[in-house]
Amino acid sequence: MRSLPRIVKKGCDPSEWYFDYLEACSYDSANRTIPEFVDSDYKVHMEIHKVKRRMNRTVMDSAKMAAGDSNGTALATVDESEDTCGRICRPQELYKKYRARMLNDERLTSIPDPEPIELRPYQEELVEAACRGVNTIICAPTGSGKTIVATYIIRNHLQEKRDAGEPARVAMLVPTVPLVEQQSLALNRYLRKTFWVEGMSGSEPIDIDGRAPFVLASHITIFTPQIFINLLKSIRKDDRLYFNDFTLFVFDECHHCDGDHPYHGKFFDLLMRMLHDYNGRKPQVVGLTASLPLGSGRANVEAALDHMMDLCAKLSAHSISTVRKHLRSLQEHVTPPIDEVRNARRPRFDPFVLAISNCMTRIEATLRKELDNIRKALQLRPDEVSFPAKTENRYESFVGALKSRISTDMPGGSVKYQLIKMLDHLGYYYRTLTLSDVLPNSYAYEYLANKVHNEAIPSDVSAAAIQDELRRLFRNYVIPKELQLLENDNGESKEIIRLLHDILREQYDKEPLSRTIIFVTTRLLAEKLSEHLNNCRIIGGGPRAIGCVTSSNQSSSFNGQTAGVQRQMIEDFNTGLRKVLVATSVAEEGLDISACNLIIKYNNTGSERTLIQRRGSYRFAHLSRIGLVSKEWNETF
């Protein structure tokens, strides 16, 4: 830090060190509060600086392209005014050298021949429209083999084009990074040696020639939408893809295209708008889903139909392909799961929960006084400063929204810092309550104590005072000895934990080779519940018999998992090394978790779509689903 003012980056303004310093502090937990005191509007100034930096970088990149590369060859850029609608699909033969980099002839001969595709009667019905070249959405239960159906459609499409002497290329769009690898492996099983399959998620290293040549060398490429959009917008001429380079689009988990998904829907929606605006020859479109979205009109048939029609319009789908003539064949191969809901009563009196609630009440009371003083200045509505009940699911989002408004709209100073700190602690206490609801209290206490004690103390006296006060509140109310917090507590005094233990013991006494997935709401709970079940040795298999699967879009410090860890965990589960997986919603979206005969929704309800998604990626003939719900939060299962 001390040497930063003396460091001058080549080609950069001498003041760069100052913004690097602010950025470094903002990412360090021990120094996160410093920028606020150096510059109360530092976030605004940093954003302005980042924009200037990007503009300078763009100018420099353009200059480099104009000057050429190190060999003196100018890097060609795309002329956006050029009419590309009349272009033809670029044939794979022009880009074969990019395949050779990945696989030589010796390795190619060692690859086994493709496996045959044998469609069941109901699968033959599902592929009819797509094989006629019609844009369609294929809707069938997740366990019905939609990947086989998609592979058959892709192979049929490419073979017909090959027989006619026409170039063809397929793009398969999937919502998550793990699905890129999974679908690449699945398609290769049936298409290897016949057609070239490539997968691109953004996690692979970028070749000096870019990504587009590898796509053009392939017959089928599996993308995440963002990577595909980036290639369609690339300014490098040799790294640019066009819609007419493809003859078939396959959208896996196409319910994301309705735009309701907070992340994936945005990119699917953007991609489809780009395709609709394109005036050239458009590829055939096939969507795959287990559950057409119902939107907010799920209780209204007409509104739900409108939502489905909207999805069809976005995908330019002329039909929805479902099983009608061969329902018996479908029922023979996809066994409906057995559903059961068990309600669990919360303890009538829990001193730990009472202590946490008292702390929250005191913080809320202090906040209300301050919020009354600033409400008019920040133009906050009454409902934006009225705290919901502590047991409501929306409590955390309410606190987050209020914190965001204060962070953005309120000028810097000690009062702003104090308000944000109090809201931070309300978030800690709320998450502690949610953990206490479904775990022994010792886990909830450990989480809260770590959050409170590991906070960085700012050097500013007025800022440090609020944290001292909040710590004092914690120490005075949350006292382990008085609250009977025991480290070896198995939690069975709570009915929901006892029911979970009983279900698992009964299942593994009856069927020792069973596989179970327990769905929970948060990454934190997935990690803590798997730790608890392993510590209790509820089932045999050693201290690692129970694992957890969480999303791969968060760093490990936020309880996220890398794609590699996620893949290894699922492989361990499928092979029996792990008998139980505690999972967040990552396991709903098409991941091939093949060995599962019991699903437990642990105080975790979901929409009709998530319910259907959870039915299918599991291949055991007899699947049971049990919902364990705290009585006050009971919802329809």
pLDDT > 70 fraction of the chain, expressed in percent and rounded? 80
- pLDDT confidence band for 487 (50 / 70 / 90): confident
> Measuring CA to CA, how many Å separate 87 from each of 127, 227, 250, 598?
29, 22, 21, 52
Distance in Å from the first CA to the final CA of the chain: 55
- pLDDT confidence band for 553 (50 / 70 / 90): low
Tokens of 438: 């479904």
As a whole number of angstroms, the distance between CA 612 and CA 606 comes to: 10
As a whole number of angstroms, the distance between CA 637 and CA 246 comes to: 42
pLDDT at 422 over 90: yes
pLDDT at 54 over 90: no
Rounded to 5°, angle at Cα 628 from 623 and 634: 125
As a whole number of angstroms, the distance between CA 19 and CA 42 comes to: 9
In this prediction, residues 462-473 reach a mean pLDDT of: 88
DSSP code at position 393: T
Q: In sequence order, which residues have a C-beta less than 8 Å from that of residue 200 and are 6 or more positions away? A: 180, 211, 214, 215, 221, 222, 223, 224, 227, 228
What CATH superfamily is the domain 338-343+494-633?
P-loop containing nucleotide triphosphate hydrolases (3.40.50.300)
User: Which carries the bigger pLDDT value, residue 68 or residue 28?
Assistant: 28
As a whole number of angstroms, the distance between CA 198 and CA 212 comes to: 11
In this prediction, residues 119-124 reach a mean pLDDT of: 95
Instruction: Return the minimum-mean-pLDDT range out of 132-141, 211-220, 528-537, 601-610.
Output: 601-610
**3-class secondary structure, 133:** coil
Handedness of CA 185, 187, 191, 193 (dihedral sign): negative
Strands (E), 163-257: 170-173, 197-200, 220-223, 248-251
Q: Is 385 left (phi over 0), alpha (psi -120 to 50) or beta?
A: alpha
CB 429 within 8 A of CB 473: no
Q: In sequence order, which residues have a C-beta less than 8 Å from that of residue 465 and are 6 or more positions away? A: none
HSE, side-chain direction, 13 A CA sphere, residue 399: 23
As a whole number of angstroms, the distance between CA 399 and CA 422 comes to: 10
Q: In sequence order, which residues have a C-beta less than 8 Å from that of residue 19 and are 6 or more positions away? A: 45, 46, 49
Residues paired with residue 221 on neighbouring β-strands, in sequence order: 171, 198
User: Domain 92-333 falls in which CATH fold?
Assistant: Rossmann fold (3.40.50)
Query: In CATH, what number does 351-477 get?
Result: 1.20.1320
As a whole number of angstroms, the distance between CA 236 and CA 239 comes to: 5
- Average predicted confidence (pLDDT) for the chain: 81
Instruction: Return the minimum-mean-pLDDT range out of 318-322, 392-396, 621-625.
Output: 621-625
- pLDDT confidence band for 633 (50 / 70 / 90): very low
User: Which carries the bigger pLDDT value, residue 635 or residue 470?
Assistant: 470
- pLDDT confidence band for 201 (50 / 70 / 90): confident
As a whole number of angstroms, the distance between CA 181 and CA 563 comes to: 10
Asked whether this chain's domains 92-333 and 338-343+494-633 adopt the same fold, the reply is yes
Among the listed residues 283, 252, 274, 279, the one whose alpha carbon sits nearest the alpha carbon of residue 158? 283
pLDDT at position 616: 44
CB 483 within 8 A of CB 440: no
User: Which carries the bigger pLDDT value, residue 618 or residue 202?
Assistant: 202
pLDDT at 65 over 80: no
pLDDT at position 271: 84
In this prediction, residues 227-252 reach a mean pLDDT of: 91
For 524-588, the three-class secondary structure string (H helix, E strand, C coil) is HHHHHHHHHHHHHCCCCCCCCCEEEECCCCCCHHHCCCCHHHHHHHHHHHHHCCCCEEEECHHHC
pLDDT at 619 over 70: no
In this prediction, residues 154-178 reach a mean pLDDT of: 93
pLDDT at 496 over 50: yes
**Would you list the DSSP string of 235-291?**
SBGGG---GGG-SEEEETTGGGGGS-SSSHHHHHHHHHHHHHH--SPPPEEEEEESS
Q: For the stretch 75-107, what's the b/e string if a residue is b when 16 or more beta carbons lie within 10 angstroms of its beta carbon?
A: bebbeeeeebeeeebbebeebeebbeeeeeeee
pLDDT at position 288: 92
DSSP code at position 625: E
- pLDDT confidence band for 438 (50 / 70 / 90): very high
Among the listed residues 523, 129, 596, 558, the one whose alpha carbon sits nearest the alpha carbon of residue 318? 129
Alpha-helical (H) ranges within 413-486 are 414-438, 441-453, 461-477
Domain boundaries of the chain, sorted by first residue: 4-67, 92-333, 338-343+494-633, 351-477
Instruction: Return the minimum-mean-pLDDT range out of 449-453, 485-489, 631-635.
Output: 631-635
Q: For the stretch 409-422, what's the b/e string if a residue is b when 16 or more beta carbons lie within 10 angstroms of its beta carbon?
A: ebebebbbbbbbbb
Burial class (CB within 10 angstroms; exposed 0-12, middle 13-18, buried 19+) of 129: buried
Q: What is the pLDDT of residues 498-529, one digit of tens each?
A: 999 999 999 999 988 888 999 898 889 999 99
> Measuring CA to CA, how many Å separate 216 from each of 77, 170, 195, 398?
18, 10, 13, 48
**3-class secondary structure, 206:** coil
Handedness of CA 54, 56, 59, 65 (dihedral sign): negative
pLDDT > 90 fraction of the chain, expressed in percent and rounded? 35
As a whole number of angstroms, the distance between CA 549 and CA 191 comes to: 30
CB 332 within 8 A of CB 326: no
pLDDT at position 12: 61
pLDDT at 449 over 60: yes
CB 551 within 8 A of CB 615: no
Q: What is the pLDDT of residues 365-407, one digit of tens each?
A: 999 988 888 888 888 888 888 899 998 888 998 999 899 888 8
pLDDT at 22 over 60: yes
